[in-house]
Amino acid sequence: MRRSSTAFWIAIFILFFVAVPAFAQSLIHNADYDVSGDIWINKQVGHYCNTGAEQMQTIRGVGKLTKEMSIVLIKGKVTVDDENDFRTAADAVRNLMITSVIRLCTPPKHTYNLDTLNAIVDLGAYYRNEDQPRYWTLLEGGGLGWSGENWSDYANDWSAVSDQIWAARIEANPGYKGRFRQDYEAAYGPYNSGALTNDDDRWRLRSSGDSAERGPEYVGDYFRISQTAVASMGEVKRYIDISSPWSHGYIFEDFEALGFVEIRERFRLTNIRPGSEIDDQWFRLFLNRFLN
């Protein structure tokens, strides 16, 4: 059985409200933590393609933690502001450690076998081929694929270039501090093979097959993150594996360091920009949070 904390204070405010017509169903969660003792936290934000991305976070160890976290969720989009400052107790038998894994819904770049070469899958094949399901989504078994089917059954030995993951782990040695801060947005809206309407939340390929036509309420297809990971003495691990079938861009990093570590970075993946109404509606959603 886990030991109870020697000091524990937590304030959590959860608000469900009607903000504006485009975002009538939303979830906002603000939480402030000030904890000392034996700490054990599991946290999940979003749910795969339902919210554009899913984040799993665990905090384990003995020491002191202050944490502020703000979450906004709508269909197809998640925004998170997460700040963690902590110190492992000098006599701790288990270091205080934070692990965060973000899994994106947006599909990775794929290749397929062409004689002895690996050929790039054409962008149109993701969405327009009648033998393929039409959009990347959550499968019944919990994995990712197209339209409720296993894409590999249809895709002529397609091979994904990346896992669409952004992960970090920060651990502080006894008596030392750690810091983990990240702000990120992830969005992935559905594809439509037909005509778009004036208030559409979908997108489609233009006739050229290499660019997108967006409905005004389309949430976008992108991932943006600003992240800081610091250990005054300890261990930092990071794993990044992200690609795009739109730009054919690819980034991979498998990182581990012991001792003093400080990493600050920004990353932006843009496949399809949001529709014309989204920025204004999103601003008013946040404004409503503070006025009520």
pLDDT tens sequence across 99-141: 999 999 998 998 887 777 778 888 877 776 655 545 566 666 6
Q: What span, in angstroms and rounded, lies between the C-alpha atoms of 82 and 259?
A: 24
Predicted local confidence at residue 274, as pLDDT: 93
Q: Is 117 exposed, middle or buried (0-12, 13-18, 19+ CB in 10 A)?
A: exposed
Residue 270 amino acid letter: T
Q: What is this structure's pTM? A: 0.85
Work out the percent of the chain whose per-residue pLDDT is above 90. Answer: 58
Predicted local confidence at residue 48, as pLDDT: 81
Tally the residues of the chain: 292
**Could you tell me the residue ranges of all domains in the chain?**
7-291
Classify 216 in phi/psi space as left (phi over 0), alpha (psi -120 to 50) or beta: alpha
Is the pLDDT at 272 greater than 70? The verdict is: yes
The DSSP code for 287 is H
Per DSSP, the residues of 133-170 read -SSEEE-TTS-EEETTB-GGGTTTS-EES---EEEEEE
Residue 15: pLDDT band with limits 50, 70, 90: very low
Question: Could you tell me which of 69, 41, 71 has the C-alpha nearest to residue 54?
Answer: 71
